[in-house]
Structures are given as structure tokens and as C-alpha cells.
């Protein structure tokens, strides 16, 4: 496995726009787009919520780590990661070693607006979304900041605007 310097890794909380922005960014840069969540679902044939139910968050994070490792053998890719990938020590170390890591920062309010319309967020099932998102941000935000090279605020911005800012900041 090599950490390709031309690859771009998007990190940030759920609902920050990693997948949507990543697709646009990849298209604009003529890169391939890969998503760790989509890869885990493809490999297992089941939903992320099901994996959380059966294997717990630890099992899911291990599967997510395997997807990341597979992706990093490629050149010219944009990788959208799951919001919690940075909680897995090995994944965080690998991402930190890359030199084009973009943290898509978003407010709790925007996360609620963007995530509560979906039942595909296992950490938000059967809980108060605002309280859970705040709890996750308290532990995860320092990790996002620690390993990112670029931070971009996504609140009230289109995914196209965010993708173009990433391109400008990477130049």
C-alpha cells in the first residue's frame, strides 16, 4: 500500500457533504470517486445499519478500514470517508500520512437538517439526533482538525461551491 500524493481524502461528520462534494470534485478534476461506506455495503451486500446491529461499531470500523486500504492503492482518486473513520486508530494514521486531506466542517444544525431525513444513519437511530451529533462532534472534531491539511466550512453552501473551493485551495 502506498499513500498516493495526488489522491484527495474527504473527512468530516455525517451530513457534511463528503459524498456529494466528492462526486463533483472527482468529476471536475477528472479523478475517480470512491466512497468507503458504499464499498462496505458493496462488499457485504447489507446495509450499514445491519452491520452495526450485527457487528457493532467496532466491526463496521474494521470493514471501513479495509475499504480505505484498498482504495489507497489507486492513483487520481477522491475518497469520501465515513464520519467516524477517524476514530479507528489505524485508519486515522493512514489518513494523516496523506497530504491532501480535506475536512468538511459543518454545524450541528446543518447536520440535523441533512441527516434526519434518512434512516441510513445507525448512530442516530433511537436517540435525540441533536444530542448525539453534539456528543460525536466533541470527540471527533479534534481528530478531524489534527489530520486535515485543509478545512472548509460547508454550512449554507452548495456542493459545487465547496468542490471548487477545494480545487482552488489545492493549487
- For 103-116, the pLDDT digits (tens) are 999 998 888 777 65
- For 143-158, the pLDDT digits (tens) are 999 999 999 999 989 9
Tell me the three cell numbers of residue 135.
Answer: 456528543
Would you put residue 157 in left (φ > 0), alpha (ψ -120 to 50) or beta?
beta
Q: Cell 489507497: give the residue.
A: 72
The whole-angstrom separation of Cα 102 and Cα 86 is: 13
Return the pLDDT at 171. 86
The whole-angstrom separation of Cα 123 and Cα 127 is: 8
Return phi, psi of residue 54, to 5°. Answer: -85, -45
Return the pLDDT at 102. 98
* Mean pLDDT value across the chain: 89
Return the pLDDT at 116. 59
Amino acid at each position: 500500500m502506498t499513500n498516493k500524493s495526488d489522491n484527495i481524502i474527504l473527512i468530516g461528520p455525517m451530513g457534511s457533504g463528503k459524498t456529494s462534494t466528492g462526486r463533483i470534485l472527482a468529476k471536475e478534476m477528472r479523478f475517480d470517486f470512491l466512497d468507503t461506506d458504499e464499498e462496505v455495503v458493496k462488499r457485504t451486500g447489507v446495509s450499514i445499519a445491519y452491520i452495526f446491529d450485527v457487528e457493532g461499531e467496532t466491526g463496521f470500523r474494521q470493514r471501513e478500514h479495509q475499504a480505505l486500504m484498498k482504495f489507497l492503492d489507486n492513483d487520481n482518486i477522491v475518497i469520501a470517508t465515513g464520519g467516524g473513520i477517524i476514530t479507528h486508530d489505524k485508519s486515522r494514521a493512514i489518513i494523516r500520512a496523506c497530504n491532501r486531506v480535506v475536512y468538511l466542517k459543518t454545524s450541528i444544525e446543518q447536520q440535523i437538517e441533512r441527516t434526519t431525513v434518512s434512516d441510513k444513519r445507525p448512530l442516530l437511530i433511537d436517540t435525540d439526533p441533536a444530542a448525539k451529533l453534539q456528543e460525536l462532534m466533541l470527540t471527533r472534531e479534534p481528530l478531524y482538525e489534527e489530520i486535515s491539511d485543509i478545512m472548509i466550512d460547508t454550512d449554507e453552501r452548495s456542493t459545487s461551491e465547496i468542490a471548487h473551493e477545494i480545487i482552488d485551495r489545492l493549487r
